[in-house]
Structure formats: C-alpha cells, structure tokens
Amino acid sequence: MRVFLAVAALVAVASAASLSLEDLEFHAWKLKFGKIYHSVEEESQRKLTWLTNRKLVLVHNMLADQGIKSYRLGMTFFADMDNKEYRKLFASCLRSLQQNKAHSATTFLRQTLPKGYFTDIKDQKDCGSCWAFSATGSLEGQTFRKTGKLVSLSEQQLVDCSGDYGNLGCGGGLMDQAFEYIKANKGIDTEDSYPYEATDGDCRFKPDSVGATCTGFVDITSGDEKALQEAVATIGPISVAIDAGHSSFQLYESGEHHSPVIGQDYWLVKNSWGLDWGNKGYIQMSRNKDNQCGIATAASYPLV
C-alpha cells in the first residue's frame, strides 16, 4: 500500500510539474467562474484568447503600478472572449436606444449612486436585460428616498411583462419604457416574489406582491454632466446609458476609469455583472471629461 501511495504521489507531482503557471491560473479561473467548454477544441481556443487578454492585463497593470494608468484590469468572467465577441454578447441590450436615439449598440444602462440608496450588486447573466436592472436600481433608490425602506425589485417582471411598451426582454429595452410600464401596471413586484431567471418567460405579475410604484419619469438634459450631477445630489440614484464595449470595461477591476490623473472627480456607477466584475460590482468613471462613454447622454429617473 505504501509503495502504491508513493507511486501515486510521484505521478501527481510529475503531472503538476508539467503544468505551467498559465495552465494553473487558467484552471483556477475556470473554477472561479464555473466555466465549462463543450470540446477540447473549444477549450483550446478559449485558452488562447484568455492568454491574450492576460498579457493585456499584465502590461496595463504594470503601467498602473508606475502611475501611468489610473485604473487596473483583471481576469473577469469575460476574459476568455475577444472584444468582438464580448460586444456581440450584449449588443442587443439597448437595441431600442440605438434605434430611437442613435446611440451605440454597445451602450449599457447603469446607475450613478449615492450611499444608502441601493440594493446589493446583481447579475444579469447571459441576458440583455441591463435596461431592467438600471430601471429597478433607480426606482429602488427613489422608493427608499420616499419611504425609508429599501426593497429589491423584480427585473424578471420587466423582462416578461413590459413588451407592449417597446421592450424586448433579454433582447434589449429602455428604462423609460420600463417606467411607463410600471406606471400603467400600478406597480412592480419584489425580487423575492418574482425572482430573476435570466431568460424570457410568461408574465406572472402578482398585484399583492407589489414592492414599488411609479407615477412617471424625468429625462435629464442630454449630455449635460452638470445637470446629472445636480440630479444625483438632490434626487438620488439616476439611470444612465454608457458605452461599455471597450476592452477596458470588459476587463475592468478597479480605479478611476480612463482618467489621466488619479483622484480627479468621478462617477460611482453600479453595474449588473455580479460581484466578481470591477470593484465588487462598481466602476469609477471620470466626471467632467467630455461626457465619458456617453454617461450623461440618456439619463433619467422615476417619479414615485
């Protein structure tokens, strides 16, 4: 038995010795994000892309360590995708915004949030429902501002039920159209009563489980960061549209995004890609820098 165990141990050591640091890091990354590939060929291709992104991250962070870059990159959930595939993955998220306001198809809805008004970080997963998360996030904040109670609201209800208002579920939508639906519907259910499923489904709204109502919405002057700043300071959470198609968003980890100077004014933006993206789900975006990534282009908030 001792001989067998010794041989097994030697085999294990030999196998580990044959693995490179990159192999071990890739394996650990797959375990962290639950990545499963359908063939050896797919895994091989994904690993090559992952290695390319790893080099990008390492070089960028070397510059960050020297103070040349103000933010850091990391091996996020999207690290096995090239930027073209990453853009395509969420291209439908704001399809309506692209059509109605000539905005980029890679623009995502996020929220600029003060402290105390927001629920925990959520994860939209493989569904173009960013618009629904932005709508619930700002409505959660406004409801808290009015009632003092912070209640997580149902993105799934917006995905399933607001099609008549121009939204396309996991195929994209707009926060203003979500607010219109909530107003007409006389409310939106709580997250607990109508949990998120990351897929299109039949509407299952329960009138007795309403967590918030909405009487309308206000659009902030397009492109006006001062107006957005005033709204955040006096109103609270604001839904915004941003272009998140750059590799710096795909692999963002922490720091002030696209700022040449560390410590300048920034927006604190809540994402819906889970806690493992960015700084525990958040990103700092430069403020008063030519409307960076269109952050003030399509901002709005609900009335409660």
Query: 29-59, pLDDT tens digit by residue?
Result: 999 999 999 999 999 999 999 999 999 999 9
Domains in the chain: boundaries: 93-303
**Residue found by looking up tokens 């070089």 in the block:** 59
The string of DSSP letters for 251-302 reads: TEEEEEET-SSTTS-EEEEE-SB-TTSTBTTEEEEESSSSSGGGTTTS-EEE
> Which residues have C-beta within 8 Å of that of residue 4, sequence separation ≥ 6?
none
Rounded (5°) CA angle 288-291-293: 130
Q: pLDDT at residue 209 above 90? A: yes
Query: Per-residue pLDDT averaged across 159-185, rounded?
Result: 96
Query: Beta-carbon neighbour count of residue 250 at 10 Å?
Result: 24
Q: Is 9 helix (H, G, I), strand (E, B) or coil?
A: helix
The whole-number pLDDT of residue 256 equals: 82
Q: Say how far apart CA 67 and CA 23 lie, in whole Å.
A: 30
Asked whether the predicted pLDDT for residue 11 surpasses 70, the reply is: no
Q: Give the mean model confidence (pLDDT) for residues 176-193.
A: 98
What is the pLDDT at residue 146?
95
pLDDT of residue 6: 46
Instruction: Pinpoint the alpha helices (H) of the chain.
Output: 2-17, 21-33, 40-65, 83-89, 95-101, 130-147, 155-161, 175-185, 225-234, 247-250
Task: Tell me which H or E stretch contains 191.
Answer: none
pLDDT at 17: 57
Pairwise CA distance, residues 301 & 295, whole Å? 14
CATH superfamily of 93-303: Cysteine proteinases (3.90.70.10)
- Mean pLDDT, rounded, of the chain: 87
Q: How would residue 142 be classed by pLDDT, with cut points 50, 70 and 90?
A: very high
CA distance 120 to 226: 27
Give the pair of three-digit tokens for residue 190.
Answer: 């709580």
Q: What is the pLDDT of residues 267-291, one digit of tens each?
A: 888 999 999 999 999 898 888 888 9
pLDDT range class, residue 244, cuts 50, 70, 90: confident
Tokens of 296: 């003030």
For residue range 65-95, list pLDDT tens digits in order.
999 999 999 999 999 999 999 988 777 776 6
Instruction: Give the model's pLDDT for residue 108.
Output: 43
Q: pLDDT-derived band of residue 115, with 50, 70 and 90 as boundaries?
A: low
Q: pTM to 2 decimals?
A: 0.85
